[in-house]
Amino acid sequence: MRILIVEDETRLASFLQKGLTQAGHLADVAASGPAGLELAATVAYDVILLDLMLPGQNGLDVLRNLREFGLPTPVIILSALTDTQHVIRGLDAGAVDYLRKPFEFDELLARLRIVQRKTATPAEAAPLAVADLVLDPLQRIVTRGGRRVELTNREFALLELLLRHAGRVLPKTRIAEKVWDVDFDLGSNVIEVHISQLRKKLDRGATEPLLETVIGQGYRLRNLPVQV
């Protein structure tokens, strides 16, 4: 999932971003209410993690503005305001969940999984396949020819993107937008390195390569008929 963290406490925001990235998500950070609102309005996020006590504009006002703008993005409030009335106000303003600080990171991940299950469309939840390659987006399992393929979280996100656009060339800019964060440096060779590693893992022991480099354009996963 692509997640926006709206949190002005630098250490907590950094911890959340690092932990979510390690768990296979994409995470951007905004340190104020207005900055969070701007990012939420310009980037398609799956979930927003929202503090209430923010500079510039408090979290409840940010949430109300999101809903007034017609943005349905699920919001989980993360707040040190723990009394019942604050929880009720947050939920009534449009949050799907309210997590009191301090909280266990594993609990946050569990609540994110609940949101993912509730919001995933049948197409998003269904396994993806070309040839003998199968990816299960909810179980996060990849196999090729019945062999389990172990991928890093970033490699998994990259492969899922390629599978959802099988047969189409994806330029580097599109991959950076969907798999890396908003501050990604397009001048780096990070995408090329990940493509190379992913290709090695997918093609190990296989007779036919699936991942192609289209020189000057980008990368493509061959849309071959599913083998049953």
Please tell me the predicted confidence (pLDDT) of residue 13. 96
Q: In degrees rounded to 5, what are phi and psi of residue 167?
A: 90, -15
Quick check: 121 pLDDT over 80?
Answer: no
**Tokens read off for 141:** 């399992």
How many residues can be counted in the chain? 228
d(CA 160, CA 150): 14
d(CA 76, CA 97): 5
Tell me, yes or no, if the pTM score tops 0.85: no
Please tell me the predicted confidence (pLDDT) of residue 139. 82
pLDDT higher for 178 or 10?
Answer: 10
**Tokens read off for 95:** 């949050």
Please tell me the predicted confidence (pLDDT) of residue 1. 84
Domain boundaries, the chain: 2-119, 124-221
Write the pLDDT tens digit of every residue in 15-31. 999 999 888 788 999 99
Write the pLDDT tens digit of every residue in 50-93. 999 999 999 999 999 999 999 999 999 999 998 999 999 999 99
Residues ≥6 apart with Cβ < 8 Å to 67: 93, 94
Nearest to 8 by CA among 47, 35, 38: 35
Q: In degrees rounded to 5, what are phi and psi of residue 2?
A: -100, 125
Please tell me the predicted confidence (pLDDT) of residue 22. 82
Least confident of 42-46, 74-78, 160-164, 202-206: 202-206
Do the domains at 2-119 and 124-221 have one common CATH topology? no
d(CA 143, CA 122): 21
Please tell me the predicted confidence (pLDDT) of residue 123. 76
- Percentage of residues in the chain having pLDDT higher than 90: 69
2-119 belongs to CATH 3.40.50.2300: yes
- On whether the CB atoms of residues 180 and 26 are closer than 8 A, the answer is yes
How confident is residue 182, by pLDDT bands cut at 50, 70 and 90? low
Per-chain mean pLDDT for the chain: 91
Quick check: 175 pLDDT over 80?
Answer: yes
How confident is residue 183, by pLDDT bands cut at 50, 70 and 90? low
Quick check: 34 pLDDT over 80?
Answer: yes
Least confident of 45-49, 141-145, 198-202, 224-228: 224-228
How confident is residue 124, by pLDDT bands cut at 50, 70 and 90? confident
pLDDT higher for 65 or 138?
Answer: 65
Largest CA distance in the chain: 62
| 146-175 mean pLDDT | 92
Q: Which CATH class name applies to 124-221? A: mainly alpha
